[in-house]
Structure 1
Amino acid sequence: MSSAENKTRPTGADVSAFLDGVEPARRREDAFAVLDMMRRITGEEPRLWGPSIIGFGEYHYKYESGREGDFMRVGFSPRKANLVLYIMPGFARHDALLDRLGKHKTGKSCLYINKLDDVDRDVLETLIAESWAAMAKKYGA
């Protein structure tokens, strides 16, 4: 693989088996809840991307630099420190939702949540659904 290729790719690993091994139990329960939420919103089956990211759907990107590849449209990872949700379009147009979400932090396309009880699940579902729709509009259904 050249350095220009995306190192995070879909694997054939079993998503449920991966989540069964997540500790602590609270993080595992939250991960299964997000899995169900994303499966329902996207209508897609999850795939493990790399060793620890559960992704739904796929899109092809190409940057002006010439770098291109494929990545998930939405996903999450039950990390040790937080539950990380990947909201690929970012958060620029989601200020109102984020204001209502509850306790969280954001990065460029990452939403960090300590536990689902810290956030409003309806608002979280809306954020995921809007992200999914924006990716479909930009990259095709």
Structure 2
Amino acid sequence: MALVFAAIRVLLGLFFGLSGVVKLTDQISADVYKQMKTQFVQFADVFPLKDFGFKPDPEQYLLAVGWVELVAGVLLAFGPQILQEISNFVLCIIMIGAIYTLLVLKEPLAMCAPATVCLGLLLLLAVRGHGRKTKSKSE
């Protein structure tokens, strides 16, 4: 079972890494990069901290999310366990933000599916094995 979780972790990490690269450069897909730039204008308009007076610049927002996804994805896939756990937490926050943003923009629920699936897999990785009892040395 550990091999299955390791495979999920690596594949999910690589997915986030690639997703981050797509947000950072138009070298992978110019059309997707252009679409991302357009979407992040809308995303900045409904940014959760907007009510507190913080509205990010859409291009900076795109770059920040791209770098976070790239770095956290690589660390999730290949980093030491403590960095995998931190990356998992950070990526969960990103996915919660993505779902929130899409819901506020009243996008179809199908648009939330990728972020919801990713969040579910991240949460699965986060809780795996935490329910098992470990044997103490005295037993």
More strand by share: 1
- Tell me, yes or no, whether TM beats 0.5: no
| TM-score (normalised: structure 1) | 0.30
Instruction: Point out the structure with max Rg over C-alpha.
Output: 2
More helix by share: 2
Higher relative contact order (CA 8 A, sep 6+): 2
